[in-house]
């Protein structure tokens, strides 16, 4: 009886071990376990852009919306930027400065109070106010456009009354400046390398230490 149980256990252990080995990387192509990570994504990204499978503008737009607030809000019938709006735009400017090759467009929106014609003009003035403020933060006006206003036609909250969330501007990536029509024109690597170098800059609070301070008496 005991011998039978021992043999059964040994067979089960052997089968389990074979299954484990077969499901491990021992029997599979080298690097297969990295398929769900970022290994090789840089090469894949370049290939997709070259063959038209992926638009870098779309990817950059998504990154912008993910990393910084793209929207600021306004008081009723106003184009004035409050402190919260200016703080958001300062964050946008910091992000925009990372990509001197890229253009941005600002869309103005309103709520539904008032005529469509008036709200369209109001939305445009709001977009222009944002462009003007971004330009004071060092962003070239040649990279900023306030040419489109959706007025009251694209509300976030469907209501006929006053709604602050509808009184907004939205900043989006619109394309590349003329001398950089495509990131893959030898420029994608420059952008990535620039960000890499900046991210590796050492930050330290040490000061006042000279080389002579480290000398030892002979």
Q: What pTM value is reported for the model?
A: 0.60
Whether the CA torsion 143, 147, 60, 52 is positive or negative: it is negative
Given a cut of 90, whether residue 206 has pLDDT beyond it is no
Q: Tokens at residue 50, please?
A: 């070259």
Q: What average pLDDT does range 47-55 have in this prediction? A: 58
- Region 21-27: mean pLDDT is 47
Which range among 91-100, 128-137, 187-196 shows the weakest confidence by mean pLDDT? 187-196
Query: At residue 39, does pLDDT exceed 90?
Result: no
What's the pLDDT at 151? Answer: 87
pLDDT in tens, 110-153: 999 999 999 999 999 999 999 999 999 999 999 999 987 888 89
Spatial distance between the Cα atoms of 92 and 194, rounded to a whole number of angstroms: 19
* Mean confidence (pLDDT) of the chain: 76
- What are the structure tokens assigned to 77, written together? 């019938």
Sketch the domain layout of the chain as residue ranges.
53-196
CATH superfamily, with its number, for domain 53-196: OmpA-like domain (3.30.1330.60)
- pLDDT score for 135: 96
């Amino acid at each position: 009886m005991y011998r039978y149980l021992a043999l059964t256990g040994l067979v089960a252990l052997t089968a389990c071990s074979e299954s484990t080995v077969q499901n491990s990387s021992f029997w599979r192509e080298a690097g297969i376990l990295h398929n769900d990570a970022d290994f090789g994504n840089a090469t894949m990204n370049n290939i997709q852009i070259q063959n038209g499978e992926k638009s870098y503008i779309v990817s950059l737009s998504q990154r912008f919306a993910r990393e910084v607030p793209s929207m600021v809000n306004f008081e009723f019938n106003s184009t004035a930027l409050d402190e919260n709006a200016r703080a958001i735009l300062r964050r946008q400017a910091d992000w925009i400065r990372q990509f001197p090759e890229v253009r941005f467009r600002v869309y103005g929106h309103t709520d539904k109070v008032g005529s469509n014609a008036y709200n369209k003009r109001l939305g445009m003035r709001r977009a222009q106010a944002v462009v003007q403020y971004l330009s004071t933060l060092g962003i070239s006006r040649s990279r900023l456009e306030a040419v489109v206003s959706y007025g009251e036609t694209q509300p976030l909250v469907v209501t006929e009354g006053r709604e602050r969330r509808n009184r907004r501007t939205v900043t989006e990536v619109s394309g590349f400046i003329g001398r950089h029509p495509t990131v893959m024109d030898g420029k994608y690597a420059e952008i990535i390398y620039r960000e890499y170098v900046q991210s590796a800059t050492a930050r330290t609070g040490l000061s006042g230490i000279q080389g002579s301070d480290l000398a030892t008496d002979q």
